[in-house]
Chain A
Amino acid sequence: MSGGVDSSVAAARLVAAGHDVVGVTMKLWGGESDTGCCSVSDVDDARRVAQQLGIAHHTWTFTDDFERHVVGPYVDAHRRGATPNPCVECNRHLKFDRLTRRAWAVGFDAVATGHHARIVERPGGTRRLARGADRAKDQSYVLYMLDQSTLARTLLPVGETSKAEVRAEAAALGLRTAAKPDSQDVCFVTAARGRHDFLGHRIPLRRGVVVAGDGRAVGEVPAVELVTVGQRRGLGLPGGGEPRYAVAVDVPGATVRVGPQAELLAESVTLGGVTWAGGPRAEQVGAQCSAHGAVRPATVEPAPGGGAVIRFDRPERRVAAGQAVVLYDGDEVVGGGLAT
């Protein structure tokens, strides 16, 4: 229970269905936080909802693994000029690994979360993750890594429900989280201090030169580590003319190359560390390359070493290294991995 409305209603539904439910909030982060899974007020909300539902509430401390698998890699990705996926890594290593292992060890049959996604049963007893009924709130993208053994012991009680209905149900039950705003952005980076300040305390941030295709300096950025391929704003470029985008970020060389949108286009992307819902196989898929990005028609082909090559049906905007790419067959997740 994160202290948000979705996990509150998920818990309420399981209690109403007669399950033996215990609420758990993960304590992941000891530093500053606006909201998300870690602040004291969110733990308070989760506990108060649990009290209202008449279930025990526990706080489990996984700050060590959060640092190891989420915050550390987030910082390291910036240092390398790659795009981090803290929410994906938190699900992979914390919610659906450390927490589920403990839950199973102490005797629970399943772990339920408030994610907007569904688990559909397929003939032969296998399962697939699928998009939530509320397409605008769908979170299947950040859960692509769930494998068969995890899916078999995972419940997503609000996946069939729209966010508006979840809020209405919370309000009808009198849950204090009914009108709580959705969590936004990276939970361990505060809005007030920002990414620049957070990273600046952990790694040296260096000024970068912005160059045009011909190598001519055209601008400057305060921190080359914070520039993402595809970025248009904040590159210190004079206004007017054809829009120019960051098309290459060279962190060691402290250089950002800009170019027209056409230079951002790519025919394909190669993924590493791929999870396959039904085993590796070549097929036509819809590839989603960011948390709420459009689905791009593509063909997937397994590659050696646990990878995959995604060929877009027509050139698409380049996928930044490190970005998660999730492959869909209709609403069902067939696989996913990180862009190399």
Chain B
Amino acid sequence: MPDRLTYLDHAATTPLRPEAAAAMAPWLGDRFGNPSGAHRVARAARQAVDEARDVVAAAVGCRPGDVVFTGGGTEADNLAVLGVHAARPGPVLCSAVEHEAVLVPVAAAGGRTVGVDAAGRLDLDALAGALDPDTTLVSVMAANNQVGTVQPLPDVAEVVRERAPHAAVHADAVQAATWLDLPPLLAGSALVSLSSHKVGGPQGVGALVVRQGTPLRARALGGGQERELRSGTHNVAGIAGFAAALAAVLASREATAARVRALADRLASGLVATVPGATETVPDRAARLPGLVHLCIPGIESEALLFLLDDAGVCASAASACASGAHEASHVLAAMGVPPSRGAGALRLSLGWSSTEADVDHALAVIPAAAARLRGAAA
């Protein structure tokens, strides 16, 4: 076992915030109840879900009635894309750098992708060109999970309104929710996906915001929970934990973002200075999420580097976590025009609410040495 554990994979999942654990504890202990019931036990559970709904609504800037709790961010994305497509079949678009939870349903709906620039920002001219008056859905993430690029969502909404007035804009805000002030960013988005565990809540909970008037057909049919948009008994403990984590984020968002941005900037600058040839994939730090550092290191393989980092107690990732544990070439880097030879040495270091100066110190001690070792072995 390494002496020290440095967790730099908050974009994959971030530790449970104590506020979330505290909010969940009663529902994992004495309290219980199916919120759909007609008695006092059910009513208490219902109240917990309703209060959580208010928190999510405040975070996004929507009505509480617009919030549909789901089993996670991926389910929310699927409901948005496939639900709109089922309600109103027609052309569907998304950015080329979406998470697979959007890309795969968009492909299943026969949709197309719109390219991005070298920094990963959506090409608004290409979007305008790709939009059809019949387009029904445009899905663009608020911020990218691999490289951290923040998308110009208000501009996207404007272009869509002009060219395809009937199209709904869906924003996957799973990564952005921890860091950005969502209401102004998402004002023009009819649908918004959130994930609990990315903001410090438990895994297996998420939400889709569905603003009034958005055509959407349910995917999970059954008892009609969540305005008949997502049937299934509520995960009360999970929903309570999700809301408590989100409330904790909202209470200290700017301070946390500033603190973590300083840590991430020190980490990025330190690595660029000490790892030969290493470059920041999104050089304009103001254009990316505060906690995300993405580097390309020439001449080494990500898998080998991650092995050595793991061995030294530094948890990082190459692109994004994948079910098989295997690493595939990143579609995000490909869309940004990063050559495969550079993308082969991709390293994502994502910081979060619990990150410390000591984490950065440890990473700055371990990563340059590991990269040098691999480069020496390859020579």
Of the stretches B74-82, B149-157, B177-185, B323-331, the one at the interface is: B323-331
User: Contact between A58 and B325 (Cβ–Cβ < 8 Å)?
Assistant: yes
Asked whether B377 is an interface residue with its Cβ less than 8 Å from the other chain, the reply is yes
Please indicate the chain B residues that have their CB under 8 angstroms from the CB of A47 in the complex: 325
User: Contact between A105 and B303 (Cβ–Cβ < 8 Å)?
Assistant: no
User: Contact between B373 and A105 (Cβ–Cβ < 8 Å)?
Assistant: yes
Nearest residue (CB) in A for B308 is: A106
Contact partner of B326 (CB less than 8 A), chosen from A27, A101, A107, is A27
B142 CB → nearest A CB, Å = 29
Pick the most buried of A27, A60, A106, A107: most chain B CB atoms within 10 A of its CB.
A106
Chain A 60-102, CB within 8 Å of chain B: the 1/0 string?
1100000000000000000000000000000000000000011
Please indicate the chain B residues that have their CB under 8 angstroms from the CB of A61 in the complex: 303, 326-328
User: Contact between B304 and A102 (Cβ–Cβ < 8 Å)?
Assistant: yes
Pick the most buried of B301, B308, B326: most chain A CB atoms within 10 A of its CB.
B326
Main secondary structure, interface of B, reads helix
A56 to B307, CA, bound (A): 10
Nearest residue (CB) in A for B377 is: A105
Please indicate the chain B residues that have their CB under 8 angstroms from the CB of A198 in the complex: none
A13 CB → nearest B CB, Å = 23
B201 CB → nearest A CB, Å = 27
User: Contact between B307 and A58 (Cβ–Cβ < 8 Å)?
Assistant: yes
User: Contact between B303 and A60 (Cβ–Cβ < 8 Å)?
Assistant: yes
A268 to B325, CA, bound (A): 48
User: Contact between A59 and B325 (Cβ–Cβ < 8 Å)?
Assistant: yes
Please indicate the chain B residues that have their CB under 8 angstroms from the CB of A264 in the complex: none
Pick the most buried of A47, A61, A107: most chain B CB atoms within 10 A of its CB.
A61
Nearest residue (CB) in B for A59 is: B325
A231 to B373, CA, bound (A): 52
A105 to B375, CA, bound (A): 9
Interface residues of B in 311-329 (CB under 8 A from A): 311, 324-328
Please indicate the chain A residues that have their CB under 8 angstroms from the CB of B304 in the complex: 102, 105-106
Interface residues of A in 137-179 (CB under 8 A from B): none
Asked whether B286 is an interface residue with its Cβ less than 8 Å from the other chain, the reply is no
Asked whether B378 is an interface residue with its Cβ less than 8 Å from the other chain, the reply is yes
Interface residues of A in 10-37 (CB under 8 A from B): 27
Please indicate the chain A residues that have their CB under 8 angstroms from the CB of B324 in the complex: 27, 40, 43, 59
Please indicate the chain A residues that have their CB under 8 angstroms from the CB of B109 in the complex: none
User: Contact between B327 and A105 (Cβ–Cβ < 8 Å)?
Assistant: no
A58 to B377, CA, bound (A): 20
Nearest residue (CB) in A for B328 is: A61
User: Contact between A43 and B325 (Cβ–Cβ < 8 Å)?
Assistant: yes
A59 to B310, CA, bound (A): 13
Chain A 282-316, CB within 8 Å of chain B: the 1/0 string?
00000000000000000000000000000000000
Please indicate the chain B residues that have their CB under 8 angstroms from the CB of A107 in the complex: 308, 311, 373
Nearest residue (CB) in A for B326 is: A27
B329 CB → nearest A CB, Å = 9
User: Contact between B377 and A104 (Cβ–Cβ < 8 Å)?
Assistant: yes
Asked whether B374 is an interface residue with its Cβ less than 8 Å from the other chain, the reply is yes
Please indicate the chain B residues that have their CB under 8 angstroms from the CB of A102 in the complex: 301, 303-304, 307
Please indicate the chain A residues that have their CB under 8 angstroms from the CB of B301 in the complex: 102
B1 CB → nearest A CB, Å = 11
A288 CB → nearest B CB, Å = 35
Interface residues of B in 260-312 (CB under 8 A from A): 301, 303-304, 307-308, 310-311
Please indicate the chain B residues that have their CB under 8 angstroms from the CB of A106 in the complex: 304, 307-308, 311, 373-374, 377
A105 to B311, CA, bound (A): 13
Please indicate the chain A residues that have their CB under 8 angstroms from the CB of B377 in the complex: 101, 104-106
Nearest residue (CB) in A for B310 is: A56
Nearest residue (CB) in B for A44 is: B324
A26 CB → nearest B CB, Å = 9
Given contacts A60-B326, A102-B301, A102-B307, 12 further A-B contacts (CB under 8 A): A27-B324, A40-B324, A43-B324, A43-B325, A61-B328, A101-B377, A104-B377, A105-B304, A105-B378, A106-B304, A106-B307, A106-B308
The 9 closest A-B pairs by CB, nearest first: A105-B377, A27-B326, A59-B325, A61-B326, A59-B326, A61-B327, A106-B307, A102-B304, A106-B308
